[in-house]
Structures are given as structure tokens and as C-alpha cells.
A and B are shown apart, each in its own frame.
Chain A
Amino acid sequence: MSKTSSTIPKWADVLLIPIINLFMALAVSAMIIYLVGENPIEALKLMIEGAFGSSEGVGYTLYYATNFIFTGLAVAMAFHAMLFNIGGEGQAYIGGLGVAVILLALDQYLPFWILLPLALIGAMLFGAAWAAVPAYLQAYRGSHIVITTIMFNFIAANLMVYLLVNVFILPGSMTPESRVFEEIAWMPSIQSIFATLGIEISDSPLNLSFIIALIVSLIVWIYIWHTRWGYEMRSVGFSEKAATYAGINTKRVIMITMLISGALAGLAGVNEIMGVQHKLMLDFVAGYGFTGIAVALMGRNHPVGIIMASILFGALFQGGAELSFDMPTISKEMVFVIQGLIILFSGALAYMSRPWVEKIFIIFSKNTKKGA
């Protein structure tokens, strides 16, 4: 037997290992917190409280999660075709531009229910367009997608500075921002939706985009595993040679997959621009594109896993902010370190604990055999 097939059950791979990774990250974080002279348990309590202890906290957590779901899905989609899309950051940024262009042009003329689909389409089109050039270069010219998508992040950042300073800025203003959209073009917040149902919750940036993110997750799941296009995409991802044999146009699949991936990242712009900021501004993506990579890795490129990982990361962002507020010795930078550790353990070191878990399972299965 030359192949060693997976020896651990699926639930352990999907659930147990990410949890172990999370705990390893928390253990290292606890040590750091202890070293700066704070109580790690207390800090963890504060973080969890901050993320889930109030309706406001939950709102913030889910608002962050919305961004991560979109960018995580983008990374996962590309990954199923074995493409590593590092460009979620730029694609989300340009996606936001797409939303703003539509809303700035039409918010005085159209009702919300027409603006919403237009804004979604704008975000997806712009995001996809930003992925198109790297996709083309990968499919037809063999330039590595990792390199090109990274470069496009920089191009996006600079393009946005140019556009905001020279095109969208209000006459006479010193801040590079567009005008605020008409209120009709704002994505309804969850708070206002609940209010119409007679339930009162406190104010947070959480808006309808979260629901859209869940629906998009479902669509992505169907696309990957229940359509012939998803089948072709996974074929190309697993084995380009077999895909060619099967008559699949691998170049076209690479193009389509990257366009979809870019479109998904672009949707993060809807949450930020239409849902929260209500105007086009600089740096609203704030690293969500990169966090999406860790989210997709932790979520094993499956929409359900991505939703769960997104909520975890959302909680980290929100809880971390609360923590640095309540424990002044733990600075904002310290919170970044904790976030970084979790990304490190669940992303880059995702498979580090796997051999240990495998060993435990082998020993365990032997003992049960002997006992039987």
C-alpha cells in the first residue's frame, strides 16, 4: 500500500482540528497577556462578553462576519479550481467603487428595491473586472495568479486614492470622500428591520447585507457541488489533465472561476459602502480581503465552515476592540497580535496538529479493537 488514506473521521478533520488550532492560538495569546501582567482568563471573558454579551456586540460581530463571508467565499471559490486568489482586498475595494458609482448616479431617481439589485450587480461586475486581468494572464499567459492578484491590490489602492482625490471629492472639501448617498439608497440596518417587527435592539452597523451573505453562501454551495459548472471547476482544480481528457476547456473554467471569485469579493463593498459608510471613502476594506484567506482556510473552503469561521473572526475583531477598551494595558496592537496568532494557527499552520490527531486516532482504534 503506497497510499496512506486519511485515517481520521471527517468530523475530526472538519471540527476537531480547527478547534484544536483555535485553542493553541488562545494558549499562546494567554501567555502573552500574562506576560504583560494581565489575567488571561479575565481578558478572554472580556472578549467573549464584548462579542456576544449584548445585542450591540452581536451586531458588530455579525457585521464584521458579513465582510469575511464574502471575502472567504471568494477565496474558497477560486481554491476549488486550485487558484489562490490573494486579491480579495483589491476586488472588494473596487467592488465598493462599483456600488458607489451606481448609487451616486441613480440614488435621486430610483426606489430602493431597484437600487439594491443594481448595486449588487455593480459590486459584482467591478469586483469581477478587477479579477479579470489576473485571470486572463493565468489562463492564457501562465502568469502566476498569486503574484498578479497581489499586484492588483496595490493598483486598486492607488486607483482609489486617485479617484477620490480627483473625481469623487466634494468641491472645497479637504477629506477625500464622496457625498453621502440619499437615505433611500442606504441598506436597511437590522435594527430598523427588527423595529418594524416591534423588537427593539441597540444600534450597530449590522445590516441586510448579512442576510444577502447567507443567501450567497447557499448559492455558492449549490454552484460548487450541484451544477455541471461546479463539477468542471473542481475537475480542473483536482486534475487539469483529467479535465482536459474530459473535454473541459480548462482556460475558460479558470476565467469563469476567477470572475465569480472577484464578484464575491466585490460584494463586501455592498456591506461597507451601501450598508455602513453610505459614501465612498478611502481604505474601507481594512484588511477584510486578507482575513478572508484565513477564513476560507479555517472553513475548509466550504460555505458552512466559512460562515462559522467568519463569525469567529467577527467575534475576534469586535471582542478585541472591547478588550483594548476595557484593559488599557492591552493595546490595540496587542489585539492585532492575538488576531494574528489565530490567523497563523488556523491558517498557515492549519495542518500542524493533524499528524498528532491521526496518531491519537490510530492508538484509539487499536485499543477498541483489542478490547472487542
Chain B
Amino acid sequence: MSNFSIELKDISKSFGSIQANKNVNLKIKKGTIHGIVGENGAGKSTLMSILYGFYEADSGTIYVNGKETTIKNSTDAIKAGIGMVHQHFMLVENFTVLENIILGAESGMILSKSIKNATSEIKNLEKSYGLYVDLDARIDTIPVGQQQRVETIKALYRGAKILILDEPTGVLTPQEADQLFDILRALKDQGTTVVIITHKLREIMDLTDSVSVMRAGEIVDSLETSKTSKEELAELMVGRKIRMNLEKSSAKTGETLIDVNKLGLTDSSGIRRLDNLNFQVKAGEIVGIAGVSGNGQSELLEILCGILPCSDGKIKISDITITPTNQTKPDKIRHAGIAHVPEDRLKRGLIPQFSASESSILGYQNSSSFNGIAFTRTDAIRSHCISIMKDFDVRPQNPDIKSANFSGGNQQKLILAREMERSPKVLLVGQPTRGVDIGAIEFIHKQIIQMRDKGSAVLLVSGELDELITLSDRIIVMFDGKIVGEVDANKTDEKELGLMMTNSHEQKNGQKYE
């Protein structure tokens, strides 16, 4: 038997003219945790999808436990003992946990029998790895951290000896991530090989035994984690030196530009999504909103920019007043100098099928500089697009390419450029660097701080705690639609924020926020 669980030899894969993987060679030792890092589009996910049988490699060989293995589909992969936890969970939302686990692996026609067998087997898994989860709960009623456990159990239940996790902590709080890491370590101790794909270097340093860095479809280096550093990895990923920490001066605040007063939102099924929010954002400061996703941050942003009507309370934003009876439409708000970089850039921020120049006027399509009496001024729109692409270093600098064909970072830069170009009084930013590579993150952060220094009021919603801490002057923490605390960004850390986000922190007077 071989020492290596997985050996990849000269794996290449291209999609049309795009070479996603190029002669990839990788060896992963049995019973270790191996990290794969790289920027978006570096080919990490493609490589793992080849291993799990979603794609077939154009050339190259895969050895599993020293044996040459052809993996044509996920059934082959499962047979070879490979399990995968996807970034986007593959669960049936209205099935129970148990039903999801046995889905596709039922042992016979009669369901009750397989359920019985499965239950005892799953109980064993739970005990040996600390993977506790309520088997009878419906998937859509349990938190994401638990859903991820279900995915893990699913893989193990199918006999996985090699577990691949694709960006597993993207949706988790720091505490949930720590729990996941404990489980992964337990798995490792019992001989399972774990491969984890991530772009968070901290996790690599904490968790893995060895790490491979991918760039532009190739593995540029494989290292032992104990013999490397975050800085070295970051440099390998981008191919140049990266400044990890941003310097910024302290905020010089001016007049209040966002004033949220007793804001509330009740959704169509009667659930309170937002409850009694009170806060202000002044000119010249960045206020961050922290929270586990789904605790009302997105709704707050959408109310502020006019997409969603609020149910109660009052908002004054720049010169505009929003109340439940006085609903202001997004275009009015935009023209009052309030720019919005939406959380979901592909669904809201731009239109993937549009050319870059068409996307570069989204929201400003009625502006007189882009329109004649009836016809749009295509030349003006193109040259506008080229000029903002220059300012924000969007590559490739071609206004005629489809928006979808830019990388995530460049799409985001295009949106930021569009929204910042008019020097807005208020900037609402959601997840500015989600799925954006390190090089672009640095640039985007600089731009946001520059907006602040020019006197804009910036409200920043982000799932990345280090981003919130680096950029914000103050951080407001939301839980279950309520504000559960506010901290000075200079005096807090991820641990404290993480506890506040799950509402498990103790207030100074010993009382929990309720």
C-alpha cells in the first residue's frame, strides 16, 4: 500500500480556451490535513471537482491509495472512498437530517428498514467524531453550521476515507469554525485524510499539516505548514508581495448622514426580521455591521437603499426621509447621492449577460449624459466605462466584454467604480470582497477608506470579521434582527465579535442582551 491517499499526476483541464488546470501534480499523505489555497479562479475548485468526478480531466492520472483510479462521476469517487462537502450545500431543504443523509444510499426498497440501519450507524459516527446533530430536524430549521455537519456525516456515511471540503468556513462564525476544526482533527486522528480548500490563510496555519498553493491553474508550491508563514503563502498566491495590514488615520466625523430610528421589518409570514434598530452614521466614518448571515443585515441594507419597504420606524438618510407610509424608490435615493454596492454582485450589482459598458451605467441609465432625446449614446457610455475602468484598474480594460466574463474581483471593482465615481454622500456597501482575490481586496479596501476620508458616510456590511475590524471605525453587531452591541473597531477582536454575533457574550453588568 502506498503512503499517499491521493496522488495526482499531470492533471490538465481546460474549458474552451481557458486552461483551468495545467499539469497539476499533487501528493497527499494518508491521515493528514492538506490545505489548498489560491485566489479565485486559480483552479482549486476545478481540481477538486475532477477528483470528485464532476469534471473529467483532459489528461493525467489519479491514484487513490496508490492505485490508478478512473473517476468518471461522483459514484466512482464515492466507491474510491472520496467524499466531498461542497461550498454550497447539496441538501434537500424540506427533508429531515436523516433523510438527507441516506438519500441516494438507501439500502433497499423499504425505507423504514434502511432508516433503522442508518440510525445506528450514524450514532456511531456521532460518537467517534463528536458530530452531533438532531436527526429528525428538518434541514431548513437548523443553522448553517449544523447543515455543514450533515454534509460531513453524509460523506462519512458513504464510507469516505478521504474528505474534501470546499471553502467550509465561508458561512460559519469563528466559533462554529473552531468546532468544525475540532471535528476535522478528530477525523484525522482516526486515519481519515482531509483536503480543505480555502482562501483564508489563518485557517491553513491553524489546521493543516501541509499546504499547496495554486496560481493560474498550476500548483506553484507544496509546503509543510509548520515551515511557512501567512506572508509567504500570500506572496505565493498572488505572485507578488502583499501588504496585509492597512494603515488608516482616525475618523474626522461631520454631520449625521444616516439616522435610523426604531426601524422594524415584519415579513409576509409575520416574522420580525428587524426590530427596533437605532443607530447613526456620520460623514467621514465607516460603520461596520457584523452578524452571522441571515440576522437582518441584508434587509437593513435593502431598506436603506429603497429596495425593501420598512414596516415601522423612521430613517433619515442624507436629505431623504423613509417611513412605512413614505416609501422612497431606489432611483430617488440614488439621485440624492446615496450609492449602494449590493451584497450579491451577480444578482443585483450587475447583469452578467450585459457588456461591461452596459453594466457600468446600471442605476444611472436615465442620466442625461448617457441619453439623447430617444437614443442612448453608446459612445458616451463606452468612454465612460473605459474611464472608470482606468480609475479602478478593472482588467481587462475592455468595455465590450460580457460582465460575466470578468473575474469576481474585477466585477466588484467595476461596481465600486460605478458607485463611487459620483462622490456619493453616503456609501452603502455589502460584502465588498466576498469571493474577491487578495490583490483586489487590498485595492478595494483602500478605495473605501479614501471615500471616508473624502467625507462620505460609509455603512459596511461584511461577513469577514477581519475586514470589518480593519475598515470600520465603529462596529455594530446584529443578532436576530436586533442590535446586540456596538464596539470600537480599534478595541475589539474576532473572538469578541464572534461571541456577540451568536449573542453568547456577557454584558459588563452580567446580563445578556435580549
**Residues of A in contact with B (beta carbons under 8 Å apart):** 1-7, 222, 226-228, 231-232, 234-235, 238-239, 241-242, 244-249, 362, 365
Tell me, in angstroms, the Cα distance from A1 to B38 when the chains sit together: 12
Chain B residue with minimal CB distance to A245? B348
B16→A239 contact, CB < 8 A: no
Residue pair A245, B363 in contact (C-beta under 8 Å): yes
Measured in the bound complex, the distance between the Cα atoms of B17 and A238 in whole Å is: 26
**How far is B16's CA from A226's CA once the two chains are assembled, in angstroms?**
31
Q: Say yes or no: A235 contacts B351, CB within 8 Å.
A: yes
- The answer to whether A242 touches B349 (Cβ under 8 A) is yes
B residues contacting A by CB (< 8 A) are: 15-18, 20, 41, 43, 45-46, 305-307, 329-332, 334, 340, 342, 344, 347-354, 358, 361-363, 365-366, 370-371, 374-376, 378, 404-405
CB distance from A218 to the nearest CB of B (A): 13
Q: Which chain A residues lie closer than 8 Å to B331 at the CB level?
A: 246-248
Which of A6, A241, A362 has the most C-beta atoms of chain B within 10 angstroms of its own C-beta?
A241
Which residue of chain A lies nearest to B335 when distances are taken between CB atoms in the complex?
A247
Q: Given the complex of chains A and B, what is the CA–CA distance between A244 and B495 in angstroms? A: 37
- Which residues of the partner chain A approach B351 to less than 8 Å between Cβ atoms? 234-235, 238-239, 242
Q: How far is the CB of A248 from chain B (nearest CB, A)?
A: 8
* Contacting pair B307 A227 (CB below 8 A): no
5 residue pairs, one from A and one from B, having the closest CB atoms:
A247-B331, A7-B16, A247-B330, A246-B363, A245-B348
Smallest Cβ-Cβ distance to B374: which chain A residue: A227
CB contacts (< 8 Å) of A5 on chain B: these are 15-16, 18, 404-405
- Known contacts A222-B375, A227-B376, A238-B351; is A246 also within 8 Å of B362 by CB? yes
A4, A222, A231, A241: which contacts B358 (Cβ < 8 A)? A231
Which residue of the partner chain B has the closest CB to A361? B16
29 contacts between A and B (CB under 8 A): A1-B20, A1-B41, A1-B45, A1-B46, A4-B15, A5-B16, A5-B404, A7-B16, A226-B375, A227-B375, A228-B365, A228-B370, A231-B361, A232-B365, A235-B354, A238-B352, A239-B347, A242-B348, A242-B362, A244-B307, A244-B330, A244-B348, A245-B307, A245-B348, A246-B362, A246-B363, A247-B306, A247-B332, A249-B329
Q: Are B354 and A234 in contact (CB under 8 A)?
A: yes
Measured CA separation A247–B375 after assembly (Å) = 20
A141 to chain B, nearest CB (A): 16
Given A231-B365, A362-B16, A245-B349 contact (CB < 8 Å): yes
Looking across the interface, which residue of chain A has its beta carbon closest to that of B342? A245
Task: Give the distance in Å from the alpha carbon of A238 to the alpha carbon of B351 in the complex.
Answer: 7
- Separation in Å of the B164 CB from the closest CB of chain A? 15
Query: Does B329 contact A247, Cβ atoms closer than 8 Å?
Result: yes
Q: How far is the CA of A362 from the CA of B334 in the complex (A)?
A: 45
Closest B residue, CB atoms, query A222? B375
Please state if B330 and A1 are interface contacts (CB–CB under 8 Å). Answer: no
Alpha-carbon separation in the docked complex, A235 to B354 (Å): 8
Q: Is the CB of B362 within 8 A of A245?
A: yes
- Chain A residues in 8 Å Cβ range of B20: 1
A3, A234, A245, A248: the one within 8 Å of B340 (CB): A245
- Decide: A241 and B376 in contact? CB cutoff 8 A: no
A3 and B404 contacting across the interface, CB-CB below 8 Å: yes
Contact partners of B371 in chain A: CB under 8 A: 228
A148 CB → nearest B CB, Å: 24
Report if A247-B363 is in contact (Cβ < 8 Å); known contacts: A1-B43, A5-B404, A365-B17.
yes
Complex formed: what's the CA distance from A2 to B20 in Å? 10
CB distance from A243 to the nearest CB of B (A): 8
> Across the interface, which residues of B come within 8 angstroms of A246, CB to CB?
330-331, 362-363, 365
Report A236 CB to chain B, min CB distance, Å. Answer: 10
Q: Within the assembled complex, what's the spacing in Å between the Cα atoms of A6 and B344? A: 23
Within the complex, what minimum Cβ distance (angstroms) separates B434 from chain A?
A: 15
> Which residue in A226, A238, A247 is a CB contact (below 8 Å) of B378?
A226
Asked if B366 and A228 sit within 8 Å, CB to CB, the answer is: yes
Tell me whether B375 and A2 are in contact (CB under 8 A): no
A248 contact set on B, CB distance < 8 A? 331, 365
Please indicate the chain A residues that have their CB under 8 angstroms from the CB of B375 in the complex.
222, 226-227
Given the complex, which residues of A lie within 8 Å of B348, measured CB to CB?
Answer: 239, 241-242, 244-245
**Distance, CA A1 to CA B363, complexed state (A):** 29
Contacts of A234 in B (CB 8 A): 351, 354
Q: Return chain B residues, CB-CB under 8 Å to A235.
A: 351, 354, 362, 365
How many angstroms from the CA of A245 to the CA of B349 in the assembled complex?
7
Is B15 within 8 A of A247, CB to CB?
no
The CA of A222 and the CA of B373, in the complex, are separated in Å by: 13
Nearest neighbor of A3 in chain B, beta-carbon distance: B404
Q: How far is the CA of A248 from the CA of B405 in the complex (A)?
A: 24
With the chains together, A227 CA to B377 CA distance in Å? 9
Distance between B16 CB and nearest chain A CB, rounded to angstroms: 3
CB-CB under 8 A from B362, the residues of chain A are 235, 242, 245-246
Most chain-A Cβ atoms within 10 A of its Cβ — which of B45, B344, B376, B378? B376
| A209, chain B: closest CB distance, angstroms | 25
C-alpha spacing A232/B370, complex, angstroms:
13
- Give Cα A226–Cα B377 distance, bound, in whole angstroms: 8
Query: In the complex, how many angstroms separate the beta carbon of B294 from the nearest chain A beta carbon?
Result: 18
Closest CB in chain A relative to B343 CB, distance in Å:
11
Min CB–CB distance A274 → chain B (angstroms): 28
Are B16 and A238 closer than 8 Å at their CB atoms?
no
